[in-house]
Amino acid sequence: MSLLTDAQRMQLLANGRARADDAAFDPMPVVRLFTPDAHATWLLAALDPGDGDTAYGLIDVGIGIPELGYVRLSELSSIIGPHERPVMRDLYFQATRTLSAYARLAMDNGSIVD
């Protein structure tokens, strides 16, 4: 399974262009990626249009310190969890709030909520 659908990639790139033009741009996350066997989650909201690989979003590697940051999709696609499970796309994820709202809740909770 691909980490992103074509539609998600297009939306992430559009959000990346909007972020480049306006640092205060606060989009809804587009995709939720996770490791089914290692408790890591990524809510991605933008993709760097310059390289098409560097994503921006909320990162929770499962140690209680979620943060906003950058991750490379190429690196995510190479991660294999302790039970040989790769990073997967949540097929049912629908964002209900902006990225900054998810970040506030996650930092208060110690993990991504939803």
What's this model's pTM, rounded to 2 decimal places?
0.93
Residue 84 falls inside a structural domain: yes
Q: In this structure, are residues 24 and 30 in contact, taking their beta carbons and an 8 Å threshold?
A: no
In a domain, 40, yes or no: yes
* 66 within some domain: yes
Per-residue model confidence as pLDDT tens digits over 79-94: 887 788 899 999 999 9
- Cα–Cα distances (Å) from 69 to 6, 9, 56, 93, in that order, read 23, 18, 6, 20
Residue 50 resides in a domain: yes
Residues 43-52: tens digit of each pLDDT: 999 999 999 9
- Identify whether 114 is part of a domain: no
pLDDT confidence tier of residue 53, bands split at 50, 70 and 90: very high
Within a domain: residue 79? yes
User: Which residues constitute the domain of residue 83?
Assistant: 6-109
Whole-number average pLDDT of the chain: 94
In a domain, 12, yes or no: yes
Specify the number of domains making up the chain.
Answer: 1
Q: Say if 1 falls within a structural domain.
A: no
